[in-house]
């Protein structure tokens, strides 16, 4: 039998915050890749840093830098970035009742919604742990991402291709690690993940960047509308 004094319970706020901080430190290093990619695509160091401070949506920022580097118009790049970042709005709908933020803290919380902070929050068993995990992830990831962006932008000429360091896969790999326990929970979760993957892969050759991810979310919507779909209870507000 385990002694309660040996450590905090699995879903305790302290444990959730610690896990969020660690995840933020790991994933935030991919800001090095964005900073380097942004400068090599033609953005200035200041523009790259402001984009990370105000946009704070890694995939959207990479999409914008990629569009500029490919000779596309700024309007097209921004449109693709906004489309890709629109999934955060869906995350916000799910987290609104869980975070219970009001006024200015609500605006700040909205800015902190990312794949990672959402995954950490929803992985917790209690609302208090979910809020602690979200805040820990947001604080750690935001700070690390922005510092890494600055470092990557300043050292763009020396870093070479960001992909050569494997930094471009840190975020997806971490998100998959967070998603994996959910996939083990039941047949519905695996079905939704498989359907989302098929939709995204099928739409990728025909749609602009960002749209396949948004379309893949319809798999979750379809599952939610199915009668008798069980609720796993993870991260549910009290």
Percent of the chain residues topping a pLDDT of 90: 28
Task: Of 164, 161, 144, 92, give the one whose Cα is nearest residue 122.
Answer: 92
Which pLDDT score, from 0 to 100, does residue 221 have? 63
Q: Average pLDDT over the chain, rounded to whole? A: 77
Q: 38-52, 170-184, 212-226: which range is least confident on average? A: 170-184
Mean pLDDT of 116-137: 92
Q: How confident is the model at residue 234 (pLDDT cuts 50, 70, 90)?
A: very low
CA 70 to chain CA centroid, nearest Å: 25
Q: 14-28, 37-51, 58-72, 210-224: which range is least confident on average? A: 210-224
Q: Is residue 174 over pLDDT 60?
A: no
Please name the helix (run of DSSP H) or strand (run of DSSP E) that holds residue 53, with its range, or none: helix 45-54
pTM > 0.85 = no
Number of neighbours of residue 86 by Cβ within 10 angstroms? 16
Which pLDDT score, from 0 to 100, does residue 58 have? 83
Which pLDDT score, from 0 to 100, does residue 231 have? 44
Given a contact cutoff of 8 angstroms between Cβ atoms, the answer to whether 86 and 113 are in contact is: no
Which pLDDT score, from 0 to 100, does residue 136 have? 96
Task: Of 6, 236, 46, 37, give the one whose Cα is nearest residue 156.
Answer: 37
Burial 27-64 (b: 16+ CB within 10 A, else e): bbbbbbbbbbbbbbbebebeebbebbeebbbbbbbbbb
Q: Is residue 233 over pLDDT 50?
A: no
Which pLDDT score, from 0 to 100, does residue 191 have? 78
The per-residue pLDDT for range 157-166, each reduced to its tens digit, is 665 555 555 5
Q: How confident is the model at residue 4 (pLDDT cuts 50, 70, 90)?
A: very low
Which pLDDT score, from 0 to 100, does residue 64 have? 82
* Residue predicted with more confidence, 93 or 59: 93
């Amino acid at each position: 039998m385990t002694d309660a004094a040996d450590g905090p319970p699995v879903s305790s706020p302290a444990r959730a915050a610690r896990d969020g901080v660690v995840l933020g430190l790991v994933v935030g290093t991919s800001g090095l890749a964005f900073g380097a990619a942004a400068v090599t695509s033609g953005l200035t160091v200041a523009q790259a840093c402001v984009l990370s401070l105000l946009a704070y949506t890694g995939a959207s920022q990479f999409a914008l830098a990629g569009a500029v580097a490919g000779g596309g118009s700024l309007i097209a790049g921004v449109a693709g970035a906004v489309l890709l970042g629109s999934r955060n709005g869906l995350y916000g709908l799910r987290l609104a009742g869980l975070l219970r933020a009001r006024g200015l803290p609500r605006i700040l919380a909205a800015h902190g919604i990312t794949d990672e902070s959402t995954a950490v929050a929803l992985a917790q068993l209690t609302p208090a742990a979910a809020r602690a995990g979200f805040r820990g992830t947001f604080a750690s990831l935001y700070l690390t991402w922005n510092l890494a962006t600055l470092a990557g932008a300043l050292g763009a000429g020396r870093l070479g291709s960001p992909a050569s360091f494997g930094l471009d896969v840190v975020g997806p790999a971490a998100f998959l690690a967070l998603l994996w326990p959910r996939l083990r929970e039941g047949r519905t979760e695996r079905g939704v993940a498989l359907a989302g993957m098929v939709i995204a892969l099928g739409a990728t050759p025909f749609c602009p960047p960002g749209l396949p991810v948004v379309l893949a979310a319809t798999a979750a919507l379809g599952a939610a509308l199915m009668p008798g779909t069980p609720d796993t209870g993870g991260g549910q507000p009290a």
